[in-house]
Chain A
């Protein structure tokens, strides 16, 4: 007989997501009963490189800074009701994240959780140096280099009875595939089921993006209660098929339209959505309403997984600087355009990007072709924004100085200067043979 379906709720979809999101998700999982897990996805591409930089400053840093705030309201219920927590919030330092979870449980007076730490993704050490040198050239040492791990180590930790599973870099959908694989007892070559669970994980991994977030377009696509948008909960059955819904008593909506948008989000070839676990195929996929705020995903298939694992590496990339100043009233656009000309003349060492916020600022290209093709108009509330990258701090700092000087030396009526600078990280990827990246889990010390 097929096992009971697994409920997977997602309480975070990126580093910086709402800390009050997991509460309603966990209340919903507890109310439904049955096997369940809470997934917290907090690692975007560059998040891990930033975490690595923090780890260099402190041995206890380098994991998701919001981890304790995300978990504090729900850890007690999770432990009491057997709702397992699976998260990549370990970032560059999963062991320290696990220690923080243990400490949090103690602070809250809870029983000590069994915490599994998944490792193997960090390939920045000497063992992999020859691989990276071959891929990127030996002269550049990366700030971070991490392979995307799959679901297997998570599944093993689940089988071993972990209450909390903390990982670094794993493919986002694998946070759902691991629990589903272990719970339903699938093999690592059960391609169709892994493919379906992967797309379930894909629908969940960005949190509210499947339940009304990143969707509303007033008058065209209205979303009720977006300020209290609920995060998703999916039921994954023994075949890997899923029905996705959202936390009870929340805003937002789960419709065929929200699910279609998220299904295709960051997908390239729909016949080959590649993860470390499987090559998922959604060319025959369909969605169907299955109740209020409930949508079933059907027709997903899976094929053999890729033989190599993707590695993302980050390198120090100099400095990024930006500055802004605003003009309003008659002639505002002409004054903002004049200010942009002045900056270009004063900063010949920088490849400046200029935007006229209120005229055109987002669709344009860094080379300025769209802005150059936009005829001068008479917009009356325009914010000039300039940005540039430079190899060294002093060169980048000049941008902010020149924008600030526009107060007294620039066109009339300029106000509201803001300037900012930050170190830049550049990225490159390569592929490593699976055997060179053994994933494992250990119990937290």
Chain B
């Protein structure tokens, strides 16, 4: 029976900022889940979760040796730490927006 879990159950990660660009890592907790993450934590999925911030580009870099991926998300920080009006001008909280993505599990744990 397929079930859906938040990405946070399968992965961890953190957000960093440089200028108006955010990067968010997504790192598999268990190597066995790596293929599931590659298949479902896509550029499109991340772009959708940040759609209200109108990313101009989302790039995904895969690092299989670390069972990790790095998303580089352009123009989502309202100008960056010096310009944004956000309480969280660095976008540090954004990792948890991505970690809330729903992931479909096909086999029972």
Residues of A within 8 A of B (CB): 45-46, 214-215, 217, 220-221, 257, 260-271, 282-287, 299, 314, 317, 320, 322, 353, 355, 361-366, 369-370, 373, 385, 387-389, 424-427, 429
CA distance A353 to B13 in the complex (A): 28
Interface residues of chain B: helix, strand, loop or mixed (majority) = mixed
8 A Cβ contacts from B16-72 to A? 16-19, 21, 23, 25, 27, 29, 52-54, 61, 63, 65-66, 68, 70, 72
CA distance A257 to B19 in the complex (A): 26
- Residues A426 and B52 in contact, CB atoms below 8 Å apart: no
- Residues B87 and A261 in contact, CB atoms below 8 Å apart: no
Residues of B within 8 A of A (CB): 8-9, 12-14, 16-19, 21, 23, 25, 27, 29, 52-54, 61, 63, 65-66, 68, 70, 72, 78, 80-88, 92-94, 97
CA distance A241 to B54 in the complex (A): 40
CA distance A132 to B83 in the complex (A): 21
B16 partner, pick from A265, A269, A320, beta carbons under 8 A: A265
5 A–B pairs (Cβ distance < 8 Å), ordered by A: A264-B25, A266-B16, A282-B63, A285-B66, A299-B65
- Residues B53 and A268 in contact, CB atoms below 8 Å apart: no
Decide: A363 near B8, CB < 8 A? Known: A46-B81, A317-B82: no
A287 partner, pick from B13, B19, B66, B80, beta carbons under 8 A: B66
- Residues B52 and A214 in contact, CB atoms below 8 Å apart: no
Decide: A257 near B12, CB < 8 A? Known: A270-B70, A284-B65, A362-B86: yes
Known: A214-B92, A260-B68. 14 other contacts (CB 8 A): A45-B81, A220-B8, A260-B25, A264-B63, A266-B23, A267-B16, A267-B23, A268-B21, A283-B63, A287-B66, A366-B78, A369-B52, A385-B87, A424-B82
- Residues A361 and B87 in contact, CB atoms below 8 Å apart: yes
Residues of A within 8 A of B70 (CB): 264, 267-268, 270
CA distance A385 to B88 in the complex (A): 12
CB distance from B34 to the nearest CB of A (A): 13
Residue of B whose beta carbon sits closest to that of A286: B65
Residue of B whose beta carbon sits closest to that of A352: B85
CA distance A260 to B66 in the complex (A): 7
Residues of A within 8 A of B17 (CB): 266
CA distance A70 to B93 in the complex (A): 29
- Residues A264 and B81 in contact, CB atoms below 8 Å apart: no
- Residues A353 and B86 in contact, CB atoms below 8 Å apart: yes
Residue of B whose beta carbon sits closest to that of A321: B85
B82 partner, pick from A364, A365, A425, beta carbons under 8 A: A425
B85 partner, pick from A217, A366, A369, beta carbons under 8 A: A366
Residues of B within 8 A of A266 (CB): 16-18, 23
Residues of A within 8 A of B25 (CB): 260-261, 264-265
CB distance from B66 to the nearest CB of A (A): 5
Residues of A within 8 A of B29 (CB): 257
Residue of A whose beta carbon sits closest to that of B83: A426
- Residues B85 and A427 in contact, CB atoms below 8 Å apart: no
Residues of B within 8 A of A353 (CB): 85-86
CA distance A361 to B88 in the complex (A): 9
Residues of A within 8 A of B13 (CB): 261, 264
CA distance A253 to B53 in the complex (A): 34
CA distance A221 to B23 in the complex (A): 20
CA distance A387 to B84 in the complex (A): 10
Residues of A within 8 A of B63 (CB): 264, 270, 282-283, 285
CA distance A427 to B87 in the complex (A): 19
